[in-house]
Structure formats: C-alpha cells, structure tokens
Amino acid sequence: MRIGLVSPYSFDVPGGVQLHVRDLAEYLIGRGHYVEVLAPSELDTPLPPYVVSAGSALAVPYNGSVARLTFGPVTASRVTRWIERGRFDVLHVHEPVSPSVSMLAMWAAEGPIVATFHTSNTKSRALLAVGPMLQPGLEKLMGRIAVSAEARRFVHEHIGGDAVIIPNGVYVDQFANAPVNPAWQGTDDRPTLAFLGRIEEPRKGLHVLLDAMPALLAARPGLRLIVAGPGDPKQVLEGRPRNVIDACEFLGPISDADKQSFLRSVDCYIAPNTGGESFGIILVEAMSAGAAVVASDIRAFRAVLDDGWAGALFANEQPGELADVVLELLANAADRLQLATQGSRRARRFDWSRVASDVFSVYETVCAATVPARMGRSDVRPVRWWRGES
C-alpha cells in the first residue's frame, strides 16, 4: 500500500506527534509498504529519507504549548504537489484542525483520508472561530482515530461525530532491553528520580516536583533528581533551597538511545504534569523500560496507568502527596518492583506491533469503502487523490 502521513508540527523539534508519525512510518516501511511523510522543517534539518519538508515553520502558541507550524499559499501549493506526486492509496493526517500542513492536506486531498486526533484541548477559541471553514475538509474524513478517551471527547465536543480509540505506540522492547547506565542508576542510599520534558513549560509540572523536593530530601538526603529535556535550569531553580539545587542534575535534550537507557536506569519516573495531556507517551516509555511510574491523577494519565494498577497516582498539583507516594515506594523495594512489573505488562498494550495493526485495519476499511460495488468490471479502480488522470 502507498501511504502518505502528514505531521502538522516541525521535525526540527521533538514532540509526541512527530515521534508517533515517525515510528508509525518506520513500522509500516518495515512491513513492506511505501510511506512518505510530509512535515514542516528547516532546509538544513537532517531528515529520514521518507520525510519531505513542507517548508520552514514559525513558533506559535498552540494548545497550551508552543508549536512550530507552517501555513499559507506557498505551503498549500507544496502540499498539493506532494499529494499529486505521491499517488497514495490512503492519506493519514495528524491533528487536522491545527493551522498547519495537516489542515491544508485535508482540504487538498480527495479519496481515502484518515485523521488522528491527539489533542484534548477543550477550550479552543481558535477552533470555534474557524469551525465553518474546517467543516468541508472534515466531511471528507472517512476514518477518525483518537489516541485516548480524552482526545475522543475533544472530537465529540468540537468536531462532531465519533472516532475509534487507537493509542500512541512504543517500541517496547527497545526500552526493555536498553543498557543500564551506572551514572543514572540509583542505590539504597542515593535513589534516583527522573523527569523528562520541556522544563520551562508549566503544564509539564516540573515546578510541582521541585516543590516536593524539600520533603523528599528531608527523608532521603541522598536522593537525586535527574532532569532531561530542553530549557534553562537557572530559570526553574531560581529561589529554590540550596539542597534542592544540589540534588538536581540537568542533562539537557537527550537522544532516543539515551532516553531508553535513562528510563531503564532510574528507580522512579515522575510525571507531575498539571493538564493539557490527551495521552502520556512518556508513561508508556517509562513502563516499558521497567521504571516505577508516579504520575499526577489527570484523566489521561489515569487511563494509561489503568487507574493506578500500572503506576502510582497522586493528586494533581499537590507536592506533599507526591512526596508521600514517592517516599513510600522508595521505602518498599518489593512494592516498587511489583508496580514496575505491572507497568511493564501494561506497556505491551501499546507496542507498535498492536497499535500499527489497528491503524492499518482503518486504512483497509476506508480503502475498501471507495471501491465501487460493481467489482466485476475490469475498468473499475479504487478512488485515488491525484487529479492528472482521466
């Protein structure tokens, strides 16, 4: 099958949607399908051979964060040419209501179109404003996927209609078999906690974890907090007690291989996110690596962690409760191991072998729906998007 995937967010900056698109493309390519990805990127950005640049992107506030998007007539022309050249059997656009190339592709394409909704933003004024413009494109969608119940709720409330839930995918074995790095590995006297994300973004919740650190260090003076991800450590540590500053180690952005080893090595992964999450791929990655997960009890995280069976939960934005939960796990190695084991089992639900199979079933369904009923005629062909053929 010839498959076109569209990412609205730039491949210059790592993010959950970009990683999802990349991994899905590589899984499908590995199964013998022809796949191209269209995404914004700078001209000098190294891209995999299957990725086509839609042009440079601008950083704009979007969905409670800052996203790198591209839009406009020049981009629209590039999108249209890519679709016409690609002669795809199915087009799969991600976040089709974001003001970027996915929206443009949805408008330009005809034929089997699938959309995946990743967001759970329930207060989108921009979406309400442009809703009438989007409707003709949304009516083209033959398959709708939501990565979680939260994302599906967004579809119900803002888009209309329904969507099948297919979660984000993870290559579980890559995390489960990653080498342990002694530099990040904890001991009884010096346990290690991990955080990964954009450290200056409030909804990622690092400030909640830092607020919990005085209580954690009072009980476990040797504890280390290892933080990975982009951002300025000085800004997030400003005004913090000296012992908290000394207990924190900042790695900056890390590679995929280092992320796998990082999560494989630490005692606990902490996800203090305060909201705006529709899924929680980092939770699945940490569970895959065998780390005990402690997360805020936002709805998306409760769903991933099976209401606390696969990871410990604490009340959102409550650093005192976060400290209590972490200290209890650090004090009971058997409980921590059991939680990590249950998390590893839960992570298998999100392995790409299962997720990609579910996505491909949607492709087959929408492609089959375009085949005319008169199958006996030799000149009948499935509907394509390219416009150059008569």
CATH number, position 343: 3.40.50.2000
- Do both 321 and 362 map to the same domain? no
Give the chain's domain count.
2
Q: What confidence tens digit (pLDDT) does each residue in 301-338 have?
A: 999 999 999 999 999 999 999 999 999 999 999 999 99
In DSSP terms, which residues pair with 143 in a beta bridge? Answer: 114
CA separation for the pair 249, 228 (Å, rounded): 9
**Residue 66: its pLDDT value, please?**
54
- Do both 85 and 110 map to the same domain? yes
- Do both 23 and 91 map to the same domain? yes
- Do both 215 and 360 map to the same domain? no
Task: Categorize the per-residue pLDDT at 136 as very low, low, confident or very high, splitting at 50, 70 and 90.
Answer: confident
**Residue 125: its pLDDT value, please?**
54
- Do both 141 and 181 map to the same domain? no
The encoded tokens of residue 138 equal 């949304």
Count of C-beta atoms within a 10 Å radius of residue 227: 23
**Residue 65: its pLDDT value, please?**
58
- Do both 65 and 37 map to the same domain? yes
Q: What confidence tens digit (pLDDT) does each residue in 214-233 have?
A: 999 999 999 999 999 999 99
Q: Is pLDDT above 50 for 378?
A: no
CA separation for the pair 73, 68 (Å, rounded): 17
DSSP 8-state class, residue 385: S
In a 10 Å sphere around its CB, with 0-12 CB exposed, 13-18 middle and 19+ buried, how is residue 224 labelled? buried
**Nearest 5 degrees, angle CA 341-CA 15-CA 192?**
40
Q: What confidence tens digit (pLDDT) does each residue in 153-185 have?
A: 989 888 888 999 999 999 999 999 999 999 999
Q: Which one, of 22, 25, 9, lies nearest residue 102 by Cα?
A: 9
DSSP string, 3-70: EEEE-SS-TTS--HHHHHHHHHHHHHHHTT-EEEEEE---TTS---TTEEE----EEEEETTEEEEE-
The more confidently predicted of residues 180 and 277 is: 180
Q: Is pLDDT above 50 for 389?
A: no
Tell me, yes or no, whether 388 lies in a domain.
Answer: no
Q: Mean per-residue pLDDT for 252-280?
A: 95
Q: Is pLDDT above 50 for 271?
A: yes
**Residue 143: its pLDDT value, please?**
94
Cα torsion angle, 113, 116, 122, 126, sign: negative
- Do both 147 and 215 map to the same domain? no
Q: Is pLDDT above 90 for 247?
A: yes
Task: Categorize the per-residue pLDDT at 387 as very low, low, confident or very high, splitting at 50, 70 and 90.
Answer: very low
Q: Mean per-residue pLDDT for 46-68?
A: 74
Q: Three-class SS of residue 314?
A: strand
**Residue 221: its pLDDT value, please?**
97
Q: Which domain holds residue 129?
A: 2-169+351-369
**Residue 68: its pLDDT value, please?**
59
Q: Is pLDDT above 80 for 199?
A: yes
Task: Categorize the per-residue pLDDT at 377 as very low, low, confident or very high, splitting at 50, 70 and 90.
Answer: very low
- Do both 124 and 266 map to the same domain? no
Q: What confidence tens digit (pLDDT) does each residue in 69-128 have?
A: 676 788 889 999 999 999 999 999 999 988 888 899 999 998 999 999 998 765 555 555
**Residue 241: its pLDDT value, please?**
98
Beta strand spans in 162-257 (E): 164-165, 192-196, 224-228, 248-252
CA separation for the pair 356, 352 (Å, rounded): 5
Cα torsion angle, 371, 372, 375, 378, sign: negative
